Structure 1
Amino acid sequence: MDVLDFARYFAALLLVLGLIGAAGLATRKFGVPGLAKPAKIRRIQIVETLMLSPRQKIALIRRDDVEHMVMITPTGATVIESGITPPPPQPQVQPAPQTDAVP
């Protein structure tokens, strides 16, 4: 086996990995009937998580513009608070440009 054979094998591996990646992106974008919905149609989103201990976690989950706080442990999940209305999005403030000119 020479260098040309190794280059051919490596190129074939890159091609196969590229095709797998493209199939994954297409699945995420368009969805697969019965398996996954496209990303634009999803109604559930994890907004934030906080680790309380190595085995306990609190998650803030948004569903249809309503948030729910859930505590997740190895034995199960418990709803702590339900029906939280999310805060309105805050506008992004652009900082004023600074000038280096000295009067």
Structure 2
Amino acid sequence: MGEGMGQWISAAGALAVVLGLLWMLAGLARRGGLASPGARRVRVVEATPIDSRRRAVILQVDGREALLVTGGPNDSFIGWL
């Protein structure tokens, strides 16, 4: 029983190390450490509530700005600004 328990402890330790490494890599990816700075093509410039359900959202896409309305029965692309 002691030898089997040692294998379980070893496996649990290895799993903890792997999960810790994945957690650290996820943190780096969230901070943009793994992506090049120019890789983002879409960003939210501003979002404003219209009413209790809908929002007007301005997105910047490749240097151009687009207006969308979201949250209703369907989302709508209003146009380029």
The interval holding the TM-score normalised by the smaller chain is 0.5 to 0.7
TM-score by length of 2: 0.60
1:20-76 Cα distance to aligned partner (Å, 9 max, x none): 65222222321xxxxxxx262010000000011121000000001100000012322
Gaps of 5+ in 1: 1-17, 31-37, 85-103
| Identity %, equivalent residues | 19
Counterpart for residue 78 of structure 1: 76
TM-score by length of 1: 0.49
More helix by share: 2
Gaps of 5+ in 2: 1-19
Counterpart for residue 27 of structure 2: 25
SS of aligned partner of 1:25? helix
Moved more, 21-30 or 73-82: 21-30
RMSD: 2.5
- The number of residue pairs the alignment matches comes to 62
SS of aligned partner of 2:50? strand
More RCO (CA 8 Å, sep 6+)? 2
